[in-house]
Amino acid sequence: MAPYSYDAPEKCGDAPNSTCECHGRVHYGLAVRPDNGNAIDTFAEMLLFRTRSKHSDGKSSVRCNSGEFRGDNGKKRFWKGQAKQCWCEKAYTYQPHHCAEEGGDCSCKGGNVFFAHKFDPLHTSKIADFETATRDGFAVVEANNTKSVECSASSFEGYDPLPGYEKHCYCDSRGTAKTAADIKATKDLWRAQEAERIAKEEKARADAEAEAARLAAAEKAAEEAAAKAAAEAAAKKAREEAAAKAEAERLAAEAKAAEEAAAAEARRKAEEAQAAKEAAEAAARQKEMDEAVAAAEAAAKAAAAAKHAEEKKALLEAAAKAKAAAIKAEVTAALAKQKAEHDAMVAAKEAQAETERVAREAAAAIAAAKEARERAAAEAEAERTRAEEQAAMEKAHADEVAAEKEAHEAALAKAVAEALESQRAAYEAKMAAEAAERARVLKLREEEEARALAKKQAEEAAAAEAARIADEEEKRLKAAAEAAEAARKAQELADHQEQMRLEKEAHEKAMKE
């Protein structure tokens, strides 16, 4: 796009009561062709016939009538009686021009480089002019003496005014397309927006990190809780198994002790029965011995009473043998009784020792079970303590992370608030500037409308006066014409009457002759 823009001429009014608002040259000419009576609809066709023109600076309106467009001799007469019109041929105006595609290099000798729409938003394939391109937002940077600016967001403080749209760069080498206040307000606005975007991204990142940390902590806590539950279950199982084992061992020991005690009791009873049997046998033998001793004594007495020496000797020998047998039987019985008492005592001691051993083993099993329970309880307590310490550490870490997150969020909130405040101030400044500009334009427009209204009223008054004069003149001319017509008709009547008189006289004369 060239740095100067030319707009095609356009019709701006019809004579004689309209006005033209034009910055350029206003042309005054025919509205209807004089050769065929067809309407003239184009500027080029109007120029086929004689026209008048004058320059306009656009600050004041131009009346579309012959009084505004006088000839070189000052005369107003121009195509008298023909319908006329006015066309505005706008002056060439300066505009920033396309200097680079997005990603290319913009060559711009001074002024400002703008980064904005490539296409007209209403026409996706039409290249936009500068005003259209910058209507929805733009980024700007001073060209200074670099003479070349890369056409990308990186050259404009990283700001992309229209994400997702194709963009171009425009060179304003004069630096007049936008005011310094507009450029400053726009930069303040986009910097605030960029700060807000960065703050939101930082907040989102911090939230994501905090959420990830929370999830990781929750997962770790769940794993440790599961491990703790598993450890407690294992410890409980170990305690139960140890208690069951100790109980089984105790019951087995008690059963064994009862069995061994029963066996010892049976042995004792058997030994007592054996001892009783042997005692009974010894008593029987003692009885036999007593009977033998009694028989021997009786024999001895009989031998003493006998007279024969041999019989006495035989009786004495028999008595001695019976006494020796009795003594032997008594000794054997005493020894058997002593042995039975000894065996019973040994069996009792062994039974007592076995009972004591079983009791010791049961006590040891109970002590081992108790120790296992206490050890499992100690391990469970240690695990609980460790889990509590770990939970406390994690809570402290989570609190620290939460505090850091809160501080970060506070900082972000402060940054966002400052950015929003800056954005608000920039926006208010821009709106104030726009309001002031609108007020100025409105005032100028009202003044112009007042002037136009005054001119229109004056023109209407002049036109009304001219119409009145024209009406009076028309009436005067009509009266004169009517008087002339009456005079003509009277003259014609008089001439006719004179002709009739002359013809009558001639006829009468002819008749006389």
pLDDT means over runs of 10, the chain (513 residues): 62 91 91 93 91 88 88 71 92 82 89 88 75 86 80 88 88 86 85 81 84 83 81 78 77 75 75 72 70 66 60 67 68 70 71 72 72 75 79 78 76 70 70 71 71 73 73 78 80 81 80 72
Largest pairwise CA distance in the chain: 278
Instruction: Give every strand in the sheet of 167-172, ordered side by side.
Output: 97-101, 167-172, 112-117, 139-142
pLDDT at res. 2: 44
Neighbours of 34 (CB within 10 A): 11
What are the structure tokens assigned to 184, written together? 């400053």
pLDDT at 289: 67
List of residues 6+ apart from 26 with CB closer than 8 A: 12, 20, 53, 54, 55, 56, 62, 64, 86, 87, 88, 89
pLDDT confidence of residue 287:
74
Q: Phi, psi at residue 40, to the nearest 5°?
A: -95, 120
d(CA 84, CA 69): 12
Which pair of structure tokens corresponds to residue 296?
């021997």
User: What pairs with residue 28 in β-bridges?
Assistant: 52, 86
Residue 88 pLDDT: 93
DSSP conformation class of 70 = -
Contact 369, 245 (CB under 8 A): yes
Taking the C-alpha atoms of residue 311 and residue 308, their distance in angstroms, rounded to an integer, is: 6
Residue 82 DSSP symbol? S
Alpha-carbon span 161 to 126, nearest angstrom: 20
Residue-level pLDDT at 30: 94
Tell me the one-letter amino acid at 47. L
Phi-psi region of 151 (alpha: psi -120 to 50; beta: other; left: phi over 0): beta
CA distance 121 to 504: 97
Quote the CA–CA distance of 380 and 387 in Å, as a whole number: 10
Residues shown for the chain: 513
Where do the domains of the chain lie? 4-94, 97-178, 204-418
Cα angle 394, 395, 398; round to 5: 85
The distance of Cα 287 from the centroid of its chain, to the nearest Å, equals 119
Contact 174, 94 (CB under 8 A): yes
Q: How far apart are CA 97 and CA 102, in angstroms?
A: 14
Residue 100, burial from CB neighbour count under 10 angstroms (0-12, 13-18, 19+): buried
* SS3 state at 172: strand
Does residue 16 have a cis peptide bond before it, meaning omega lies within 30 degrees of 0?
A: yes
pLDDT of 351 reads 65
What is this structure's pTM? 0.38
Closest among 281, 283, 279, 275 to 347, alpha carbons compared: 275
